[in-house]
Amino acid sequence: MRIIVAGGDGFCGWPTALYLSEKGHDVTIVDSLVRREIDNELHSNSVTPIASLQERVDKWKELTGKEIKVYEGDLNHYDFLSLVFKNERPEAFVHFAEQRSAPYSMIDRKHAVYTQQNNVLGNLNVLYAIKEFEPDCHLIKLGTMGEYGQPNIDIEEGYIEIEHKGRKDTLPFPKQPGSFYHLTKVHDTHNIMFACKIWGIRATDLNQGIVYGLNTEETKKDPVLANRLDYDGVFGTALNRFLIQAAIGHDMTVYGSGGQTRAFLNIKDTVRCVEIAAENPADQGEFRVFNQFTESFSVQELAEKTKQAAKDLDIEASIKNIENPRIENEDHYYNAVNTNLIDLGLEPYLLTQDVLKEILQEALEHKDRIIVDNVLPKVTWK
């Protein structure tokens, strides 16, 4: 298939682009490279050294003979996006190209507005480009499990059957997003659902859990293909932060009680889920939702698992509970459904001690790159 991976230079996008290329698809990356600029803004970096995007795709072609085309530009610029669609005529559009950090969206008014504009308007442009140029193109959109919040009922896949005053209907599952970033994903969901209804667009919303891991089989082929590993208090997810803190002998900082429970999946499952969605497209006019995760853990459980992995490598790691910079429930019910992708053939990679130790060893190898001041949270919701 002809597949565009928007945001193909990022943590999820880069390994996805390589995986789809390896599988024989004609892959094009669209990326503004703004994530690299944000590293400079935050005085932060990836623990793993990452080559430029052009160096990456050149190395991939050298190793495999497969070409990945690159367009550098912003989805918010419709003339640019139109050119990409006219040139590439995508059969699937994998949309990773959004500002993905909740803390970044909560820094101040400027960052909240940027996140909303970049994410919501960029996605709206993609919908119009599909309508105008490739109406049969399948939109595979990265959503988030964070759209749902932590309701005191089971989380279904996108929809829920409601009985009210003697009548029944199947409605979109209620959303309780926890940041201005998460709100953009909810707005995207509504816009995509509406576009499917009025224009007959086919779309799959992948409500992804928190991704952990680092390498895929493709990124391990050469150091130039290495994936990024974020660890700071803005872009580093809880598990990656704990691993990096353990590597430098810093307390693993658990926010609040640590009872916050979230859905997780391995980066290797991220790329496979995208492939499953591409090979099993939504019907014309269908807006379907897959809850894209494999396991659920509390933050405290992740810290304990990391502590054990560190101990196996003769590292004495300690856990410290600190004041929670976020406004969120810390002890709550959490049970989410994830049957659709499993039914379509996903065989999950689970969070094992070996997986944790692999990431920890990578962090130890590049320990000199870790900026210690960045491992603690600096952004508060209040």
Active site residues: 144, 181, 185
Q: What would the two tokens of residue 295 be? A: 């396991």
Q: Is 167 helix (H, G, I), strand (E, B) or coil?
A: strand
* Cα(260)–Cα(309) distance, integer angstroms: 21
* CA distances to 128, 205, 355 from 318, in Å: 51, 38, 20
* Cα(97)–Cα(172) distance, integer angstroms: 24
Q: What's at 116, amino acid-wise?
A: Q
Contacts of 42 (CB under 8 A, 6+ apart): 232, 234, 235, 374
Please name the helix (run of DSSP H) or strand (run of DSSP E) that holds residue 254, with its range, or none. strand 252-255
Lateral strand order in the sheet of 92-95: 69-72, 26-31, 2-6, 92-95, 138-144, 202-208, 287-292
* Cα(233)–Cα(250) distance, integer angstroms: 14
Looking up tokens 């990452």 gives 50
